[in-house]
Structure 1
Amino acid sequence: MEFTSNAEIDSFVIGDNTIELIGYVDGIDGSKQILFIERGLIQNVNMTFFKKEENVVPIEVCCWRNTTIKILGRYEELGTIEPQSTINTCIKNCAKEIGKIIRLQGYIRVEFTLVPMGHSSYGNGAIVDDVYRLRVHIVDFKDDPTLKSGVHVECVGEIKKDKNDGIFLQLENMSKIEIIDELVLSTDNLRWGIIPPETRNLDDDEKNKAKRSRIQKNLDDSGINFSRVDLDEDVTWDSE
């Protein structure tokens, strides 16, 4: 199956109602149907919902009364994309792997729920490991009652940045998050996970050393016993 090329999409003109487009649906409830759109109308995208970091073009294809749509099959069945190698890492260091497929473990701190976004939706939650915390987005989300707060999971997905340079892990679907054992982290220990992945070595300069000291002080003042936490060392968790 040959999709419409990037070069042709870049040549679309606003107002043209004769375009032809072959591609698969990736952003509406995770559908992977390949569509052939004939006589679609090109319009400017609503910039309220446009996010450059999602690697999409700032135009949209609209279907009107003369448009025809044919479903050509499911994208996964074609096997057109070679699997990428997976990098084993941890939440603390995952920001070094932007744009790469990684595998890491953590405990669910924020349970996954469906989040509407424009005309589509995605799953959203967060996992923690030691004092580090990572947002997780799931493109094709289905509710799973076993993914409760504190559960120990392994995730495989792509590390990305949002428009504010925040780091998050994007999973294709629910098969990319798996419960790996019966360990369940206590609520108190889950509260330790507050620091985002490191985008650089925090000991590079005095400014970052001061930031590290402020984090430690805030932990000590939080009302939970954080006295044993050294942000330069790994923390051994106590599980329920």
Structure 2
Amino acid sequence: MNNIEYTSNEEFDSFQVGDNSVVVTGAIISTEPVRNRTNPGKQPVLRCVLSNMEGRQLRVLIWNSRIPEFEGRISHQMVRLTRPRVMRANPQFFDASLNLMEIELFVQDNTRVDLLGTIPAAPVAERPLPLYELRDIGNITGPVRLTAFIRYPIERQVVGNYSYGSGAITDGVYHSCINVAGPHKAIPAGTHVVVSGELRRNNYDTLILQVTDTSQITIADDQMMDARLLRASFRVIPRDTPRELHPAVGLPVLRQQMVALLAQQVGPAAQELIHSAQIHQLVDLPVFNAGGRVQQIAVNNGTSERQAGASKSRHEPVILRHKNIKKVPKQLLYASDGDSDTGSVGDEPTDSIVIPDSESEEEETSKRPRYDLFEDDCDD
């Protein structure tokens, strides 16, 4: 209340009828039009309701020559009344439903009235901003909160007579520009932060997070992203991002997501094999590299009943054959950076691996690496 202390409930309750030595501080929350009293003499009176904003409110009556001082000026003002007269409320005008006290204050010729300013507006609770992951904001503009890592520290930029802070944030896969209009401080690259700001697109349709100042950038925790991941997080956030294709750093990839991805990539002809994969299940989940691409697929190479007694190693590739499938997309089998633990095949130049469906074709392609997904339950 702007450091103005209103009269307390206890002090209001101690007022006695006839006392003219009180000092009252409160807020005029309503006024009534000037009217003439019905008693003999019909003196004009301006009625107001004063409140201490803590449960006590009463009428204040301003009489005769004092009315022009306050008519049209006192409404919704904080006031201090020095030496008004305390009187019993007129039953003709008293309404208990208005939560008024049974006393009134009369402003007399010797009463001092100080106007202390307009009643401050009640604070409006800020609506919490929605929290997004960086990869999900491609179609969003407006106020947001983001969790991300500092990719490029915020540095001062000068354009003509205007200066601002500029940097970038990332989730380990995607990145976004960030502009800070007001004062800014250096936050080291790799710091895990929560940023509140407004997403907008500039004249070149580039998505930018606009921040008022660095008070809207808070450190989330002590996590740090290493320089290698910061360098690799160069992808532009698309307007629609399939969450399965480029999972953010630290997010698990579920088996069912992988099965759905295989069904989409290989096609309807592989539904029987997909079903077989769900039955036999994968021993290990797919391993993704920093770019979000499949780096290694570990499968269950245990022998079936028909293969009892066979001496296959668990890590020996199993040939995948099916009369309706000739190729397996390369992106399901090869790492994008060539650092697979099962073979350095990241630089394989072909777009797919040919899967032989006869012994002769198998001999011709025996020198090529094969990385198979399921058990050999579909032999011709």
| TM-score, reference length from structure 2 | 0.31
The structure having more radius of gyration, on CA atoms, is 2
Structure scoring higher RCO (CA < 8 A, sep ≥ 6) equals 1
Higher strand share: 1
